[in-house]
């Protein structure tokens, strides 16, 4: 096992940038100093701000966020993943080829074996990997990381380890060690599940299971994720500076096990005003611009910079719920009528210029298990009226559209369009506004009327979608769906343990057909395309596989 740091050495962690391969950038690497930036062209960082450890950021790529992060500790956040994606590695990763096909690939784990009963996973770890402070990566770090996830104060993402034997006992405090995670030797970890869970490998690719240095993380205490000097991983970039509400700085890890990044580093500006972001990109002060946050300007960017747009699928589905506990949604004819009454393509066109695709099931385009041949839901207002008449609602009925006051303007606009479309078939949909906390509490209690929301993949498996919403009575209740068929929910739960991949995906597709097309349990709306504007000097930038706004910088380079 690795040599332990003493408490006396903890203070030395502040020298991490100097002790490791994470030194300031200067003009090394691609890119160079810029004197006269052209529109959408060559961005260059200015003088380092305080908190940047004296890093010379000349030649760094310049990115932007519209809000500062809360922490770089993925065990305490479910949304701030850009830094973790670049500071740390996972045991496994998701890789997408040029055809858009995704697969699980080795990372800190070089290879793995799975027992015939699907309960034991033996991971053979990559040797010679160093953390950014110079410590060796070993099996001890994996055991520590997974145990900490379940015990850290104010922790999140614990559901990623739900199926590990002993996880529940650690969370509730009845066990001090995680029974199902064992360091066999320095470079072998055995993980035992309490029951077969075919999506476990996919879970291990999630940012929430990034691997930490046991020594450095323990020494850092509550400053881990907050103080750049003591926040270390094995990833391609080191956390070099954080000036709150101003900027974050990453410096390449010269000793990265895959080979040093071609980028010397990245400066991430914090700029809440999206109009300012747009102007900065056009004046050459930014290299990357997430068009998700400048939706009003997207068409202009597409027209002005057609050769500087990068896109990828957002592996997530926007859906519209129907609460089975509220009249008249117990009647499948009424639920199917609502499915047919909503023109989803018109909403996608109106809100996002058609950038995406209408969905017809639970699993969105780009997800493993997506079924191109699934049954389609047609927009058919006349057919909807006929079904309502058959159900005894020829004169329509009144229903609630529950609106979260904290939601984006596009969600509000979508609800207004849905209200008009439902009115066209005789349904009086009344928009009711809730403050955010009341909306969440009412939804969790199963008491919201219909609402629209989006679920984006945490990991690349249909289980992450169908089990989240229909895995058991509690899950469907907290989404205010209240789907009642316990036999179907038992099938959803049982499908998680089907070891044969072809059989499992076939069952998931059969369940999708049952839930959406036979039972009309919700209205699948659409999935969206994620667009980015990149400066002329940026090369090889790719959105992450799931299409979320978090980005990975490894593989990107800067031209002249």
Least Cα distance to 453 among 411, 410, 515 occurs for: 411
**d(C-alpha 254, C-alpha 262), whole Å:** 10
Burial of 326 (0-12, 13-18, 19+ CB in 10 A): middle
DSSP state for residue 516 in the 8-state scheme: I
Kindly give the residue spans of alpha helices, DSSP state H, lying in 221-343: 274-282, 298-304, 332-341
The residues, ordered by sequence, that sit 6+ positions from 337 with a Cβ below 8 Å of its Cβ are 383, 384, 385, 387, 388, 391, 425
pLDDT score for 407: 87
Record the tokens describing residue 174, joined without a space.
Answer: 């009845």
What domains, with CATH codes, occur in the chain?
Answer: 7-287+535-558 (3.40.190.10), 316-529 (3.10.105.10)
Least Cα distance to 104 among 198, 239, 185 occurs for: 198
Give the chain's length: 560
Given 3-state DSSP classes, what are the helix, strand and coil percentages for the chain, each rounded to the nearest 5? 30, 20, 45
DSSP state for residue 106 in the 8-state scheme: E
Least Cα distance to 42 among 540, 533, 560 occurs for: 560
**d(C-alpha 201, C-alpha 105), whole Å:** 10
3-state secondary structure at position 85:
helix
pLDDT score for 290: 96
3-state secondary structure at position 207:
helix
Other C-beta atoms closer than 10 Å to the C-beta of 5 total 18
Each residue's pLDDT tens digit in the chain (560 positions)?
443 443 333 333 333 444 457 765 443 333 333 323 344 555 544 433 335 557 899 999 999 999 999 999 999 998 899 999 999 999 999 998 776 778 899 999 999 999 999 999 999 999 999 999 999 999 999 999 999 999 999 999 999 999 999 999 999 999 999 999 999 999 999 999 999 999 999 999 999 999 999 999 999 999 999 999 999 999 999 999 999 999 999 999 999 999 999 999 999 999 999 999 999 999 999 999 999 888 889 999 999 999 999 999 899 999 999 999 999 999 999 999 999 999 999 999 999 999 999 999 999 998 999 999 999 999 999 999 999 999 999 999 999 999 999 888 889 999 999 999 999 999 999 999 999 999 999 999 999 999 999 999 989 999 999 999 999 999 999 999 999 999 999 999 999 999 899 999 999 999 999 999 999 999 999 999 999 999 999 999 999 999 999 999 999 999 97
pLDDT score for 32: 32
pTM: 0.87
Is cis: bond before 328, omega within 30 of 0? yes
Token match 């035992």: residue?
192
- Residue 453 has phi, psi (to 5 degrees) of -150, 180
pLDDT score for 408: 83
pLDDT score for 529: 94
- What is the Cα Rg of the chain in Å? 25
pLDDT score for 499: 87
pLDDT score for 97: 77
The Cα-based distances of 403 to 10, 59, 428, 452 in angstroms read: 49, 45, 16, 8
Please, are residues 309 and 543 in contact by the beta-carbon 8 Å criterion? no
Residue 239 Cα to chain centre, angstroms: 21
């Amino acid at each position: 096992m690795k040599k332990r740091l003493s408490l006396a050495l903890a203070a030395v962690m502040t020298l991490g940038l100097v002790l490791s391969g994470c030194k300031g950038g200067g003009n090394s690497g691609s890119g160079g100093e810029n004197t006269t930036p052209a529109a959408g062209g060559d961005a260059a960082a200015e003088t380092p701000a305080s908190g940047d450890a004296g890093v010379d950021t000349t030649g760094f790529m310049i990115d932007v966020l519209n809000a500062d992060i809360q922490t770089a500790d993925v065990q305490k956040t479910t949304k701030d993943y850009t830094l973790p994606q670049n500071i740390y590695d996972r045991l496994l990763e998701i890789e997408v080829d040029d055809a858009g096909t995704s697969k699980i690939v080795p990372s800190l784990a070089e290879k793995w074996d799975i027992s015939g009963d699907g309960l034991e996973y033996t991971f053979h770890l990559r040797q010679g990997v160093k953390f950014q402070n110079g410590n060796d990566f070993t099996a001890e770090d994996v055991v520590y990381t997974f145990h900490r996830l379940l015990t850290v104060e104010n922790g999140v993402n614990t559901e990623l380890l739900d199926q590990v034997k002993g996880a529940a006992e650690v969370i509730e405090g009845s066990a001090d060690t995680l029974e199902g995670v064992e360091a066999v030797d320095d470079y072998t970890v055995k993980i035992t599940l309490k029951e077969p869970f075919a999506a476990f490998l996919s879970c291990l690719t999630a940012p929430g299971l990034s691997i930490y240095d046991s020594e450095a993380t323990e020494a850092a205490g509550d400053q881990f994720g907050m103080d750049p000097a003591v926040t270390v991983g094995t990833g391609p970039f080191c956390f070099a500076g954080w000036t709150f509400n101003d900027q974050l700085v990453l410096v390449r890890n010269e000793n990265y096990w895959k080979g040093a990044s071609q980028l010397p580093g990245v400066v991430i500006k914090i700029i809440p005003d999206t109009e300012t972001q747009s102007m900065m990109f056009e004046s050459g002060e930014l290299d990357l611009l997430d068009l998700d946050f400048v939706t009003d300007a997207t068409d202009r960017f597409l027209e002005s910079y057609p050769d500087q747009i990068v896109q990828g699928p957002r592996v997530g589905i926007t859906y519209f719920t129907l609460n089975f506990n509220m009249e008249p949604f117990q009647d499948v004819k009424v639920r199917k009528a609502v499915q047919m009454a909503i023109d989803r393509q018109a909403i996608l066109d109106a809100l996002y210029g058609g950038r995406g695709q209408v969905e017809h099931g639970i699993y969105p385009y780009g997800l493993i298990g997506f079924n191109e041949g699934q049954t389609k839901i047609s927009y058919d207002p006349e057919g909807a009226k006929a079904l309502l008449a058959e159900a005894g609602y020829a004169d329509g009925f009144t229903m609630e559209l529950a609106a979260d006051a904290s939601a984006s303007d596009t969600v509000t606009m979508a609800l207004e369009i849905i209200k008009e479309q439902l009115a066209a078939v005789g349904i009086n949909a009344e928009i009711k506004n809730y403050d955010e906390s009341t909306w969440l509490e009412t939804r969790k209690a199963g008491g919201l009327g219909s609402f629209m929301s989006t679920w984006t993949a945490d990991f690349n498996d249909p289980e992450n979608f169908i089990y989240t919403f229909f895995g058991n009575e509690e899950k469907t209740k907290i989404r205010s769906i209240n789907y009642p068929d316990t036999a179907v929910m038992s099938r959803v739960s049982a499908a998680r343990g089907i070891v044969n991949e072809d059989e499992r995906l076939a069952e998931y597709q059969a369940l999708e057909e049952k839930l959406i097309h036979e039972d009309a349990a919700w209205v699948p709306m659409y999935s969206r395309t994620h667009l980015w504007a990149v400066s002329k000097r940026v090369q090889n930038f790719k959105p992450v596989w799931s299409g979320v706004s978090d980005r990975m910088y490894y593989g990107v380079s800067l031209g002249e």
